[in-house]
Amino acid sequence: DRSSIHSVAILLCALAFFIILLMENCRVPADDPNTHLELTMIHEAMILDYAGPDLALILYGASLKLWLFASFFVILLFPAISVGLLLSSVIFLAGIVATVIVIGIIESSIARYRFIKVPQMLIGAFGLSLLALFFLIFFDGGIK
């Protein structure tokens, strides 16, 4: 069945994108934004010299980046549902809230990985996306 193959491919891509969301936004499995240890922090090092409005703009930019990545993730899971503007907006916002809750649960339950594990997680995300491509090519008759 084509729809089940597409569903598996979309779920694999969504999982790979969620891993990239965590890595790119410097969330806890890859980086701890609250630490001040110079060897382990990635994100926090660039904002140590800023204060006031400059720091506010950097933090606002990081928040917008997380919102944008979460939006792409939700749109990947729930693409173009034609149920009306109001219900689509509610579904989108509920997806954003669910994504943020899942990020919070992951951050509170998993310790920061050692720096050597970060590339392995990115390789895993790449592997998941390749597996999704494999499903589309070999079980769906090719990419159209």
Residue 118 sits in which domain range? 2-139
Q: What's the pLDDT score for residue 36?
A: 59
> In this structure, is residue 54 part of a structural domain?
yes
How many structural domains compose the chain? 1
In a domain, 144, yes or no: no
- Predicted pLDDT at 143: 61
What is the reported pLDDT for 24?
A: 83
**Alpha-carbon span 16 to 4, nearest angstrom:** 18
Residue 85 included in any domain: yes
Specify the pLDDT at position 7: 86
Count CA within 13 A, CB hemisphere, residue 25: 23
pLDDT mean by block of 10 residues, the chain; 144 residues:
81 93 79 60 70 91 94 89 84 94 88 74 92 85 64
